[in-house]
Amino acid sequence: MQPIFIANTPYIRPNKQRSGSSSNDNLSLDLPNEIWAEVHSHLPTEDVVKLMGLNRYFFKEARNEIYRTITISDADDTKQVRVLQRLLEPDIASCVRHIRIQPDFLPLCDNHGKPLSRTRISGKDSTFLKKTMKVLYNCKNIEEATLRFHSSQAITTPFRDFFSTLISKASSRLQKLTISMSVLQFRIIDIISSSQLPFPNLSTVYLMVHPAYAMNRAKQHQYVDPPLEITESFCQYTHSFFMSLKPSLQSLHVTNYDLVDLTPVFIGLEGFTSLKKLDYRDCGRTQALSDLGVFEKLMDSSPDLERSSLQILVRSLWRAGPPEHYFEHLSWSAIFAKHSLTLQVTTLHNLCIKLPDDTSGLNFDTLSPSLAIFGPRLRSLNIDSSSALTYLQFQQILGIIVKFSKEQRGESGLETLVFRRLELFSPTHLDEALRKLPRLKVLAIGFERLSIEPQRTRVCFSTIISTIL
């Protein structure tokens, strides 16, 4: 049964007024199109489909929602194949705004990211990619692309051709790009960087690098330490890609779950005149705090930068040696550092040090030279710990901060100091901090137990004391 189109704007004819009823019982849905578009965005897909037969407007808006995001993952998915067939119609293909690619059909890879000889891509999957490429020629309004790869998948030639076609088709209108991959799949970044296509509207990039896995002789997945030449190629291609986005990039988010060093990607990055948000998290490898120096040029040469967050795992905190690593099975397998300190920097003026759960045996002395990279620019320091610090640990950390302040020879700009969690609070903590750091303007101390009611002896300082419940 074909829908009956009664109007361009949704309108429900009110019932005739019954005797004794007021005019307020009349129901009118003559609302602006923008309101209906917002309503559609919050409805489940099945409800949107039901509204398609109401009138022309609902039909058009429902179609926009249904085909806004398409997924390319499995050649055997009949529902997905039907959707792609519908996209051969230009009117429907024009509704596509977001393409999500999760190619489950890609073969397994070896230690160098190449397909295993016994798992070449099938002819059926190759045909599926060719048909999908034809569909992409009709999708002229793609604004967002998401690519998610399993860490043991190989990038084949047919898929490279497919992805190259997608990039060439969507480069002019693409606004957001999300890639989840391993270093062994560096050829994906190579396609983007070597295309030399302009991305005038690409303002947001998310890059997640997870550990690389490959099939061993026992036919088991095992973690692979990527060869040096592959890691260098990945960093080089990624650096080139980021540099090509200097005029348009506004938000950059990079997360590393692998043990490889990604700091070479950021060496020499500068001149991003539109960059407003920078987020870098290294959750896979421990490193020196001095590695954050590679971000200095990027942050200093970005005049519109509003928020930046740099998070790394700092090594050399335990006298016994570097932290151990273990595997955590999440949506994909990721490597995290066990018993390590997490450092977060919001701009080069604000530093947050997150201590591990177990603080026994920590060598806090290694923090002193690490703080030197910030110098007199450091304005705010936050010591965040999941477990409560003892009075002795408080004294050790405070001594390091005092030493750092003295090394600046009167140029220290530290104004805010926060200790998130102490076991026991007493006026001694307050007095020591204010006496040894006279330039402090804000001192915040969270505590579990209070020994003696603190006395307000220094009114010239803005002192905040909070209790952690």
Residue 337: is it exposed, middle or buried by C-beta count within 10 angstroms (0-12/13-18/19+)? buried
> What number is the average pLDDT over the span 436-454?
76
Which residues does 469 contact at the CB level (< 8 Å), separation at least 6?
none
Taking CA atoms, 226 is separated from 170, 185, 188, 222, 469, in Å, by 31, 10, 16, 12, 46
CA distance 389 to 347: 26
How far is it between the farthest Cα atoms of the chain? Answer: 89
Read off the pLDDT band of 350 (50, 70, 90). Answer: confident
Question: Is pTM, for the whole model, over 0.85?
Answer: no
Read off the pLDDT band of 205 (50, 70, 90). Answer: very high
Lowest-pLDDT choice from 186-200, 227-241, 273-287, 447-461: 447-461
Q: How many CA atoms lie within 13 A of 9 on its CB side?
A: 8
110: tokens are: 């070896």
Residue carrying the six token digits 């190989």? 154
pLDDT digits (tens, 9 = 90+) for 255-289: 998 888 888 999 888 889 899 999 888 877 766 66
| pLDDT, position 216 | 66
| pLDDT, position 10 | 42
Chain-wide mean pLDDT for the chain? 75
Which residues does 186 contact at the CB level (< 8 Å), separation at least 6?
113, 230, 233, 234, 237
CA 463 from centre of chain: 35
pLDDT digits (tens, 9 = 90+) for 118-149: 555 566 677 888 888 888 888 889 999 999 99
Q: How many CA atoms lie within 13 A of 326 on its CB side?
A: 6
| 8 A C-beta contact, residue 231 and residue 184 | no
Q: Which helix (H) or strand (E) holds 56?
A: helix 56-66
Report whether pLDDT(409) > 50.
Answer: yes
Bridge partners of 419? 383, 445
Helix, strand or coil, per DSSP, at residue 399? helix
Taking CA atoms, 149 is separated from 73, 86, 160, 369, 384, in Å, by 10, 26, 13, 40, 35
Report whether pLDDT(8) > 70.
Answer: no
| pLDDT, position 100 | 93
Read off the pLDDT band of 107 (50, 70, 90). Answer: confident
Complete DSSP assignment for 274-329:
T--EEEEEEEEEEE-GGGGGGGHHHHHT-TT--EEEEEEEE---BTT-SPPEEEEE
Nearest-CA neighbor of 297 among 263, 264, 277, 270?
A: 270
DSSP letter at 19 equals T
Residue 104: is it exposed, middle or buried by C-beta count within 10 angstroms (0-12/13-18/19+)? middle
Report whether pLDDT(314) > 70.
Answer: no
> What number is the average pLDDT over the span 192-211?
90
Read off the pLDDT band of 174 (50, 70, 90). Answer: very high
Read off the pLDDT band of 44 (50, 70, 90). Answer: confident
Which residues does 110 contact at the CB level (< 8 Å), separation at least 6?
116, 154, 214, 215
Between residues 444 and 317, which one has the greater pLDDT?
A: 444
CA distance 90 to 82: 15
Helix count (H) and strand count (E) of the chain?
13, 18
| pLDDT, position 56 | 67
Q: Which is it for strands 462-467 and 333-337: parallel, antiparallel or unpaired?
A: unpaired
Read off the pLDDT band of 194 (50, 70, 90). Answer: confident
